[in-house]
Amino acid sequence: MAVDTMKAHLRDFPADGPESWIFTAPQGRPVVYTHFMDGSWRPACAKAGIPKGTGPHALRHH
């Protein structure tokens, strides 16, 4: 399943070459952890009712 999801992502967002990033910020640069946490993760968790302080690493349990 993860392989299929990655294939779909690369189909929709093809990499520019072997040294390019798979996941990028909107500007095409690497994702900055603090920007991701403050701009996307925490607001999404709040909207979904996920307890404050829950990080992306917790997803490994699901």
Q: pLDDT band at 59, cuts 50/70/90?
A: confident
Which sequence spans correspond to the domains of the chain?
A: 2-61
- Tens digits of residue pLDDT in 1-51: 889 999 999 999 888 888 888 888 888 888 899 989 999 999 999 999 999
Distance in angstroms (rounded) separating the CA atoms of residues 51 and 61: 15
Higher pLDDT, 60 or 4: 4
- The whole-number pLDDT of residue 52 equals 92
Torsion over CA: 16, 11, 2, 49 (sign):
positive
Instruction: Tell me the average pLDDT across 46-59.
Output: 92
The answer, yes or no, to whether residue 61 has pLDDT greater than 80, is no
Q: What is the pLDDT of residue 27?
A: 83
